Amino acid sequence: MKRIISTGNAPQAIGPYSQAVEVNGTLYISGQVPLVPETMKVVEGGIQEQTLQVMKNIGAILDEAGYSFSDVVKSTCLLSDMANFKAMNKVYGSFYSENPPARAAFAVKELPLGVLVEIETVAVKA
């Protein structure tokens, strides 16, 4: 059974997608950008501040669905510039101090709203 996850503690979808969808104990979280949920504006600052906001948004969705960061098995990180990889990685890594998930990281030509980072996540209830 498919369950749509939605929380006011993460940015509302800015297109025809759900914040997350759960199917058979697997949670698929749509790519999160660094929008502050209360204002729907991009957080001020650079790549570290933006990555922190993205991870907070992912955490809020995980929490709403009854998951945690320890349930995350795969992330895909999209960066506007690979020069930001090291700084993004430092913040991202602070959320996965033990048994980090599998991950891919790509530089892309452009991200929505001109942000520096977008991260999509898959979590599984073991």
List b or e across 77-104, with b for residues whose CB sees 16 or more CB atoms inside 10 angstroms: bbbbeeebbebbbebbeebeeeeebebe
Structural domain boundaries of the chain?
Answer: 2-124
Q: For 60-114, how does the pLDDT look when each residue is reduced to its tens digit (9 = 90+)?
A: 999 999 999 999 999 999 999 999 999 999 999 999 989 999 999 999 999 999 9
Give burial (CB, 10 Å; 0-12/13-18/19+) of 105. middle
Question: What is residue 14's predicted lDDT score, i.e. its pLDDT?
Answer: 83
pLDDT over 90 (residue 1): no
Classified by CATH at the fold level, domain 2-124 comes out as 60s Ribosomal Protein L30; Chain: A; (3.30.1330)
Q: Where are the beta strands (DSSP E) in 41-107?
A: 41-42, 72-79, 102-107
Q: How confident is the model at residue 126, as a pLDDT? A: 76
Q: What is the pLDDT of residues 50-71, one digit of tens each?
A: 999 999 999 999 999 999 999 9
pLDDT for 53: 98
Residue 15: pLDDT band (50, 70, 90) is confident
